[in-house]
Structure 1
Amino acid sequence: MQYSHEDENFPLTRFESMLKTNNILFFDSAEFENIIHHYLENGKIALSKRAIKLGLEQHPTSINLRLFQVEILVIENKFAEANELLDKLHSLEPTNEEIFIQKANVLSKQDEHQKAINTLLIAIDMSNSPEDDADLYALVGMEYLFLDQFDDAIIYFKKCLESDVTDYSALHNIIYCYDFLNKNSEAIEYLNEFLDTNPYCEVAWHQLGRQYFAIKEYAKASAAFDFAIISDDTFVGAYIEKGKVLEKLKKYEEAIENYKITLALDDPTSFALLRIGYCYSKLGQSDLAIQFFKKTIDEDALLDKGWIAITKFYLKRHDYQNALDYIKKAVAIDGDNVLYWKLYATVNKHLNFLEEAEQGYKRALELGNYELDTWLNRTDILIELGEYQAAIFNLLQTTEFYPESPEVEYRLAGLYFMVYQPEEGRFHLKNATCLNIDYSFIISELFPQLTDRPLIKAIISEAKKTSN
């Protein structure tokens, strides 16, 4: 079904006026189709149904209005009713391709994707319009995507693009499929072929640049983004990607220039502001770096990379109080962000706020961050706080994830000796030395008071002899 948006507002205004006054006005079927299409596009289902009902009262033989009825039934998941109505319409107009498109839509919604493809292929055979063909090929491509049959999807998205060279969503889908299949070279070959006949297609140049970037061909990526910009000098995405390439080439001043162009072309994006901050940081221009990191979090307080960047900026400069102020604000905004809590713990550790640091690591663990360093950092702080039993319990949980870690075993050995459980201490120390004697320094580092114990010295000494 084709719709015209020209002069759409007048019949729409008349229709809505009619609903308010209850005066019955006449509309031709094309006007009803435009009115219904408008309501469907805007998600106004109740008004769509009302327009269909009134439309069918005035045009009871209109197939197109009945097809809108099918659309409503599909939206309401009434697939059996939709199929029944489609069968009736098919008997009236067996060569109407729109009926097959709607049949395919019903099948797709019921996860019958192969049947949907077969039905769409019938519609393609019936079609006489290249423009309609492009839409149908795209629909077949999408069904193959649902089936994870990416090679088949590529074939149909290519057919779509051959029928309508301006269908950039098809181009994006082709590259998406190649990306999923890790076929960068095939994607590059296809894009170069496409650009031979469409040399001013900025979207294709942009995609080509991204492919070269993925395989670390930065000079070629940079050239592709230049051509994208030549094709459309307001293409924000191309400037962003060019900036990323220039960063990889360590050309930070040029990267900043490209990112700044995007700020002038469009509303500032937190990504561009953040990258500018990083570039200034790399150039050693701290004042400008912090200025742009602050702009990043002002622009988007939910972007965790912004808060992390500003906290790490201060951490690197040993300005722990400022780092703490920012990471506290970040945690207040999003208390379920693991990266925030690990950073919160690190900053507090530098400030020797051990209870707060321990809480940070504990919260990270509660949120599912089971990296070994999180368990070990929490343990070491608990040891420093003299919380030996809590440290043991923490390490026993760690062994569920890391059953043969010498770093865990040495710590458990030391802790058991500290709480006067020598048998357990001996067991874990022997375990630890068998796993890796090189980590035995952990005992002297974390438990200096145990270094001279004869039993401990004997076990470590024996293990060193054996390992030599």
Structure 2
Amino acid sequence: MEFSHSDNNNLSLTKFESMLKTNHILFFDSEEFENIIHHYLNQGKIALAKKAIRLGLDQHPTSTNLKLFKVEVFVFEDNLIEADTLLNELYILDPMNEEIHIQKANILSKKDKHEKAIEVLKKALELTDDVVDLYSLIGMEYLFLDQFENAKEFFIKCLEVDLEDYSALYNIIYCFDFLDQNEEAIEYLNIFLDKNPYSEVAWHQLGKQYLTIKKYKKALAAFDFAIISDDTFIGAYLERGKVLEKLKRYNEAIESYNLTLSLDDPTSYALLHIGKCYEKLGNSDLAVQYYYKTVHEDPLLDKGWIAITKFYNKQKNYPKALYYINKAINIDTENVVYWKLYAQINQRLKYYEEAERGYKKTLELGNYELNTWVSRGDLLIKLGELQAAVYNYEQAMDFYPESAEIEYRLAGLYFTLNEASKGSYHLKNGIKINNEYSFIIDELFPDIIKNFKVKSILKSKL
């Protein structure tokens, strides 16, 4: 039982804390001690809870409930051996106490013995009429085992007993999502809504399911019902805005996002998407204003900086685009998309060394697209790093063994490096794969086009 200022039990708490200050031992009945301990545990004041347990057991040494609080603290502090020992003693005295079984299951769960924890919790179900918490605990144990069907079954049982148990509802949807059962989730939520038609959470979750399977009009209707059920539900307005964006109804999306700003403090998500909507509507001035508001609201939101980067990139204002892509990379240094954009912007600014560094980082992060290999290699050629370019293209060959673009580039590099036999080999391969790409030699390696062997091989393709 939790204390409140209007609760008479608050007198017990005041009396207890006064006793601690004066060191004068006062008497409390066991229920008072239970309420005091429960209050301190809920507040996270473990030291005070332990004092209350000790003093409570001094005055009521046979109280099972006080000893169970002691077990709870042992478990919290990972003193599992002491907790287990005390629980075994309590079980001998009171084998029909479901709380003893619950704490036993808690210890087994801490030891990653989830199957055994479930067995114990199912025994506890036989000892109590208050089953909701036990169903939830069993469901959680099944989640630990990645047994999502079983977990879903027990969370559904929770909701059958208590339609307002939204924690169980979220867990049910989590299981459906993990199992890729969107249609089944929709069917379940519609049945639930027949019983509880004003559940804003269920309407919201139904909308998200429709959004996942791209049924945007049905998603929109579900979010509208969520808002009818609770017109202050910010999450529903945000999701509604997202759907309206998908439907290209940008003015309505802006209106929906703006409603969230009037209900609570601005969120960077809403500001960012308002900016994107204005950009789609061709209102560049308002778009960039909202992008700046986004990063002002959340300076660590890389998506805000990247939105500004892309805006200036489209405007061909590359110095500003470079400034903002650096901001995004400073926040998320492992994002492939950012590094690729960084490379492209630097290339447009003719900062070739930085551009090459960007493509190299992109490859290191696992982006093995042909265009990335080619762009980096061409920059290395431009920078005079011919051996590095060769190594780059040889690595690319592992991923694209039949690429004419790579073969012609390797041919040109080897002829430039006076390795004619290797050059001939790759030039012939390039011609065999696609003779129309031979212009690469002329564009990237104009100095070797007059080479007799090169001319001879190129002539043979005609």
Shared fold, TM over 0.5? yes
**1:127 match: secondary structure:** coil
Q: Which letter maps to 1:100?
A: H
Q: Which letter maps to 2:46?
A: I
For 2:53 and 2:101, the matched residues in 1 are separated by: 20
Of 311-320 and 53-62, the range deviating more from structure 2: 53-62
1:45-80 per-position Cα deviation (integer Å, ceiling 9, x unaligned): 333323222221122112122112222222233323
Aligned with residue 217 of structure 2, among 216, 219, 235: 219
Equivalent in the alignment of 1:48: 49
For 1:417 and 1:10, the matched residues in 2 are separated by: 93
* Alignment CA distance shift 1:313-1:26 (3 Å): same
Q: Does the alignment pair 1:242 with 2:240? A: yes
* Residue pairs, 1:310-389, within 5 angstroms: 310-367=308-365, 369-389=367-387
Q: Which letter maps to 1:429?
A: L
**1:162 match: secondary structure:** helix
Query: Structure 1 residue 13: deviation in Å?
Result: 4.1
**2:126 match: secondary structure:** helix
Equivalent in the alignment of 1:141: 139
Query: Structure 1 residue 323: deviation in Å?
Result: 1.0
For 2:115 and 2:337, the matched residues in 1 are separated by: 43
For 2:42 and 2:414, the matched residues in 1 are separated by: 68
Q: Does the alignment pair 1:74 with 2:72? A: no
Q: Does the alignment pair 1:442 with 2:440? A: yes
**2:384 match: secondary structure:** coil
For 2:110 and 2:402, the matched residues in 1 are separated by: 49
Query: Structure 1 residue 272: deviation in Å?
Result: 0.8
Query: Structure 1 residue 313: deviation in Å?
Result: 0.5
Query: Structure 1 residue 335: deviation in Å?
Result: 4.4
Equivalent in the alignment of 2:418: 420
1:362-415 per-position Cα deviation (integer Å, ceiling 9, x unaligned): 344455555444333222211112221222233344445555554444333322
Aligned with residue 180 of structure 1, among 170, 178, 181: 178
For 1:406 and 1:43, the matched residues in 2 are separated by: 66
Equivalent in the alignment of 1:256: 254
For 2:211 and 2:396, the matched residues in 1 are separated by: 39
Give me the TM-score of the superposition, normalised by structure 1.
0.91
Equivalent in the alignment of 1:208: 206
Query: Structure 1 residue 186: deviation in Å?
Result: 0.8
For 2:334 and 2:173, the matched residues in 1 are separated by: 35
For 2:19 and 2:430, the matched residues in 1 are separated by: 84
Equivalent in the alignment of 2:94: 93
Of 443-452 and 151-160, the range deviating more from structure 2: 443-452
Query: Structure 1 residue 137: deviation in Å?
Result: 0.8
Q: Which letter maps to 2:98?
A: E
Q: Which letter maps to 1:258?
A: S
* Alignment CA distance shift 1:439-1:107 (3 Å): farther
For 2:16 and 2:373, the matched residues in 1 are separated by: 67
Mind listing any 5+ residue stretches in structure 1 that lack a counterpart?
A: none
Task: Provide the alpha-carbon RMSD of the alignment.
Answer: 2.4
Give me the TM-score of the superposition, normalised by structure 2.
0.92
> Is the 2:198–2:229 Cα contact (8 Å) retained in structure 1?
yes
**1:126 match: secondary structure:** coil
Q: Does the alignment pair 1:304 with 2:302? A: yes
For 1:450 and 1:335, the matched residues in 2 are separated by: 40
Equivalent in the alignment of 1:282: 280
> Is the 2:210–2:218 Cα contact (8 Å) retained in structure 1?
yes
Query: Structure 1 residue 122: deviation in Å?
Result: 1.0
Aligned residues: 460
* Alignment CA distance shift 1:83-1:353 (3 Å): same
Equivalent in the alignment of 2:121: 120
1:295-327 per-position Cα deviation (integer Å, ceiling 9, x unaligned): 111111222211111101110111112212222
* Alignment CA distance shift 1:80-1:219 (3 Å): same
* Alignment CA distance shift 1:332-1:207 (3 Å): closer
Mind listing any 5+ residue stretches in structure 2 that lack a counterpart?
A: none
Q: Which letter maps to 2:116?
A: K
> Is the 1:416–1:424 Cα contact (8 Å) retained in structure 2?
yes
For 1:457 and 1:95, the matched residues in 2 are separated by: 95
> Is the 2:3–2:39 Cα contact (8 Å) retained in structure 1?
no
* Residue pairs, 1:164-175, within 5 angstroms: 164-175=162-173
1:310-355 per-position Cα deviation (integer Å, ceiling 9, x unaligned): 1011101111122122223334455454443332222111111112
> Is the 2:410–2:423 Cα contact (8 Å) retained in structure 1?
yes
* Alignment CA distance shift 1:227-1:356 (3 Å): same
* Alignment CA distance shift 1:97-1:458 (3 Å): farther
Q: Which letter maps to 1:72?
A: V
Query: Structure 1 residue 361: deviation in Å?
Result: 2.6
**1:207 match: secondary structure:** helix
For 1:24 and 1:288, the matched residues in 2 are separated by: 69
> Is the 1:205–1:225 Cα contact (8 Å) retained in structure 2?
yes
* Residue pairs, 1:154-165, within 5 angstroms: 154-165=152-163
Q: Which letter maps to 2:288?
A: I
For 2:97 and 2:385, the matched residues in 1 are separated by: 78
* Alignment CA distance shift 1:418-1:201 (3 Å): same
For 1:373 and 1:311, the matched residues in 2 are separated by: 21
Equivalent in the alignment of 1:228: 226
For 2:11 and 2:456, the matched residues in 1 are separated by: 96
Q: Does the alignment pair 1:65 with 2:66? A: yes
For 1:64 and 1:460, the matched residues in 2 are separated by: 92
* Alignment CA distance shift 1:333-1:128 (3 Å): closer
**1:315 match: secondary structure:** helix
Q: Which letter maps to 1:340?
A: Y
Query: Structure 1 residue 153: deviation in Å?
Result: 1.3
Query: Structure 1 residue 437: deviation in Å?
Result: 4.8
> Is the 1:3–1:33 Cα contact (8 Å) retained in structure 2?
no
For 1:341 and 1:454, the matched residues in 2 are separated by: 41
* Residue pairs, 1:260-275, within 5 angstroms: 260-275=258-273
Of 402-411 and 116-125, the range deviating more from structure 2: 402-411
1:181-220 per-position Cα deviation (integer Å, ceiling 9, x unaligned): 1111111111111111111001111111111111111111
